[in-house]
Amino acid sequence: MAEVGVVTKGLVTADWLSEHLDDPSIRVVDTRKGDKYAALHIQGALSLDVSPFLRDNGDVIGMQEFAEVMSRLGIDASTHVVAYDDGNNLFAARLWWVLNYYGHTDVRVLDGGWDCWSADDRPADNNDTMVSPARFEPNVSSGWKSDSGYVEASIACSDRVILDVRSDDEWLRIKDSGSTPPGHIPGAVHFVWSDVIDRDNLCFKPAAELRTMFHNIGLRQDREILVYCLAGIRAAHSVLALRLAGFESVRNYEGSWAAWSRTGRPIEGAVSLSHPN
């Protein structure tokens, strides 16, 4: 959880945003699904459906297409982006990751999301926000992403760890969806992505607590972490959590299990389950 009234490298508090809501350099982006934005949203926020941020082949939205979307939202190199949603900030974190991947590092997630904002009667309305288009110029930062080949080459690397952040049911295949085969990437360790959220306030747990949780499953800051889920959404959220905890070398395996399991690469059966203390 970010300290009250401050900005961290990945989060911003509701108190801070309330104080800076009229700052023209800030663009608040609502990533909630459905018609929730139309009903009520943070005053001045713009709506963005993040589902197009994955293509049919499981890869991130293309550079030019993403630039056009950001430009329509009035986002350029001088814009401070604040993203939020109402689902553990899963989709807000996805936007955070895509922006970082395309070189825009001035982006934060609203800690606690809409739930935290709306709980204290902060400014909200249902007005459509109008902004002038900007010129977003993407610049791929390759260290934020890994592909199947890179992950496969990492299985035998002592300085890399593969982290599976799918649910317990997916890891153990208690419920078989039929869409992908059971198992996991060989050598992967397991951690449920949502365990980084404090259930009482829906904020991220403090950095020190996150660091302890990750250390308890064998992660270390001097090793590169490759994170995967089913299709790269939850993995992006975990990349944010790891960054908050002080892990600087973290990549999202964008294709994730959906890509890995259909390419004939090695699969290991789920034989153990790791939980944070």
Do the two domains 11-125 and 142-260 of this chain adopt the same fold?
Answer: yes
Confidence of residue 178 (pLDDT cuts 50, 70, 90): low
pLDDT tens digits, residue range 118-130? 999 899 999 999 9
Q: Which has the higher per-residue pLDDT, 80 or 262?
A: 80
Q: Are 256 and 230 in contact (CB under 8 A)?
A: yes
- Residues with Cβ within 8 Å of residue 107, at least 6 apart in sequence: 80, 81, 82, 83, 95, 96, 99, 100
Q: Which residues are catalytic?
A: 229
Q: What is the pLDDT of residue 243?
A: 96
Instruction: Determine the Cα–Cα distance for residues 111 and 8; give it in Å rounded to an integer.
Output: 10
pLDDT tens digits, residue range 35-85? 999 999 999 999 999 988 887 678 999 999 999 999 999 999 999 999 999
* Predicted TM-score (pTM) of this structure: 0.93
Instruction: Determine the Cα–Cα distance for residues 206 and 199; give it in Å rounded to an integer.
Output: 13
Average pLDDT over every residue of 193-201: 96
- pLDDT, averaged across the chain: 91
Percent of the chain with pLDDT strictly greater than 70: 92
Q: What is the pLDDT of residue 172?
A: 83
What letter would DSSP give residue 175? S
Q: How many CA atoms lie within 13 A of 118 on its CB side?
A: 15
Instruction: Determine the Cα–Cα distance for residues 83 and 29; give it in Å rounded to an integer.
Output: 5
CATH number for 11-125 (one of 3.20.20.80, 3.10.20.600, 2.60.40.10, 3.40.250.10): it is: 3.40.250.10
Q: What is the pLDDT of residue 173?
A: 77
Q: What is the pLDDT of residue 8?
A: 58
pLDDT tens digits, residue range 150-168? 999 999 899 999 999 999 9
Instruction: Determine the Cα–Cα distance for residues 17 and 60; give it in Å rounded to an integer.
Output: 28
Q: Show me where the domains of the chain are located.
A: 11-125, 142-260
- Per CATH, the number for 142-260 is 3.40.250.10
